[in-house]
Amino acid sequence: MYDYHPLAIPAPYNHSNIDSDEVLYYVDGDFMSRKHVERGMITLHPGGIPHGPHPGTVEKSIGATETRELAVMVDTFRPLLMTEYAAGIEDPDYYKSWLG
C-alpha cells in the first residue's frame, strides 16, 4: 500500500543522495514512478546526481492506493565503479528519460 493520507502524493520526490550511490533493480511489476523502465533493468544514480519520478508520474500517482511492483534498492557506503561489461550495456539515452 502507498501512503493512504487523502492528500498524500504516492510518487517519490526528486532528490540526490549526498553520501551514497543508489542502485535499483526492477524485479517485477509496473514501475509507477518511471517511464521506459522495465522488469530486469538496473539503474545507477551516483551520489550527488539528482533523480526522481519521470515527468507526469507524480500527477498520475495521485489517488493510487497500492502498487504491484517489486524492486530492490541498494544505497552504497562507498562509490561504485562500473565494469567494462556494465559500460557496454549502459543505455546512453537514460538521462533523456526525464525530458517531457
The smaller minimum CB distance to Fe ion, of residues 22 and 26, is found at 22
| Entry field: residues in the chain | 100
List 22, 34, 53, 61, residue binding Fe ion (CB under 5 A): 22
How many residues touch Fe ion under the rule CB under 5 A: the total is 1
The smaller minimum CB distance to Fe ion, of residues 55 and 63, is found at 55
Minimum Å distance from CB 77 to Fe ion? Answer: 16
Which residue shows C-alpha cell 502498487?
A: 67
β-bridge partners, 25? 42, 72
Q: How many CB atoms lie within 10 A of CB 68?
A: 8
Query: Which span sits near Fe ion by CB under 5 A: 15-23, 35-43, 61-69, 80-88?
Result: 15-23
SS3 95: helix
Q: Which residues bind Fe ion (CB under 5 A)?
A: 22
